[in-house]
Structure 1
Amino acid sequence: MSTSTPGESQHNRRTASPFDIRLVIALLFVIYGVVLSLMGLNPSPEDIEQAAGFNINLWSGIGMLVFSALLATWAFLRPVRVPEEFESTE
Structure 2
Amino acid sequence: MANLTVESTQMIELQTPKHIDNDIQQLEKLFELLKQAMLKNENIDKMEDYKRALYQTMDCILLLKLTRTALSNIVIKNIKRSQKDGC
Q: 1:1-90 alignment to 2 at 5 Å?
A: 11=2, 15=8, 16-22=11-17, 24-42=18-36, 43=38, 44=41, 45=43, 48=46, 53-55=48-50, 56-79=52-75, 81=78, 84=87
Query: Which has the bigger relative contact order, CA under 8 A and spacing at least 6?
Result: 2
**Over alpha carbons, which structure has the higher Rg?**
1
Give unmatched runs, 5+ long, in structure 1: 1-7, 85-90
More strand by share: 1
Matched residues, number: 71
What's the TM-score once normalised by structure 2's chain length?
0.54
More helix by share: 2
